[in-house]
């Protein structure tokens, strides 16, 4: 009998055991969000400063829901990074199911935001309420990324709770391997949304 598991209840140990997922520790595995990044213009910096201001204003009156995080923080970032333009298109609340070979357990869940190009999954974005730890969101995002039908190209992910951001990369050739970026935050005096946008812009240029 098939057992269904919700993606938000999956941990890294489960993904390692069932799908052979491994952490790639070499720096060269994940350079797309760190090397040769495009400059952020003064106008873009002004937009990002407003995003920070709006977010900090809203967190004064909790709770701050996932939908509000997507509206106030993620939507402006994706727009500035070019993911609303050709050749990309975006889907929200995309349902997925994934299971390992010969397993009677199926992971079910819904991706918050999925960026697609010609049926190729490019970027999986998982947003959480502002009080949620990103460490809990990473296995869920990786489970969604494992469901990407493409085997020969990497899938990228982004998890955020509105104030903090972590990029993910998953490559599935031979054996699935993943890596995580540093954690960026807009709560520092220097607005690290600049770095998040620069990483997203670089991904949009690489993947377009």
| pLDDT tens column, 68-110 | 889 999 999 999 999 999 999 998 888 888 887 666 788 888 8
CB environment 62-87: b (16+ within 10 A), e (fewer): eebebebbbebbbebbbebbebeeee
| Angle at the Cα of 140 from the Cα atoms of 165 and 153, rounded to 5 degrees | 80
| 27-45 tens-digit pLDDT | 899 999 888 899 999 999 9
Q: Looking at residue 102, what is its pLDDT? A: 62
CA distance 157 to 90: 14
Q: Looking at residue 1, what is its pLDDT? A: 66
Q: Looking at residue 49, what is its pLDDT? A: 96
| Residue numbers of the chain with a pLDDT score lower than 70 | 1, 101-103, 119, 130-132
Q: Work out the end-to-end distance of the chain between its first and last CA atoms, rounded to an integer number of angstroms.
A: 42
Per the CB < 8 A criterion, the answer to whether 2 and 98 are in contact is: no
Nearest CA among 7, 2, 8 for reference residue 129: 8
The β-bridge partners of 167 are: 158
Contacts of 135 (CB under 8 A, 6+ apart): none
In which region does residue 102 sit, left (phi positive, over 0), alpha (psi from -120 to 50) or beta (all else)? Answer: left
């Amino acid at each position: 009998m098939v057992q269904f598991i919700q993606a938000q209840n999956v941990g890294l140990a489960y993904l390692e055991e069932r799908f052979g997922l491994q952490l790639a520790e070499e720096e060269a595995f994940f350079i797309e969000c760190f090397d040769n990044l495009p400059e952020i213009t003064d106008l873009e910096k002004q937009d990002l400063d407003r995003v920070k201001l709006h977010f900090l204003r809203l967190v004064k009156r909790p709770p701050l829901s996932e939908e509000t995080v997507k509206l106030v923080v993620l939507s402006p970032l994706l727009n500035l990074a070019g993911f609303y333009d050709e050749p990309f298109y975006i889907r929200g609340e995309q349902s997925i199911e994934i299971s390992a070979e010969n397993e009677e357990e199926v992971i079910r869940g819904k991706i918050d935001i999925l960026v697609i190009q010609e049926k190729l999954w490019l970027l999986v974005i998982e947003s959480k309420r502002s009080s949620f730890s990103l460490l809990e969101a990473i296995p869920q995002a990786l489970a969604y990324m494992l469901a990407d039908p493409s085997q020969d190209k990497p899938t990228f992910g982004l998890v955020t709770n509105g104030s903090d951001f972590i990029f993910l990369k998953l490559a599935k050739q031979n054996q699935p391997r993943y890596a995580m970026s540093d954690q960026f935050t807009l709560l520092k005096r220097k607005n690290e949304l600049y770095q998040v946008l620069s990483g997203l812009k670089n991904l949009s240029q690489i993947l377009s």
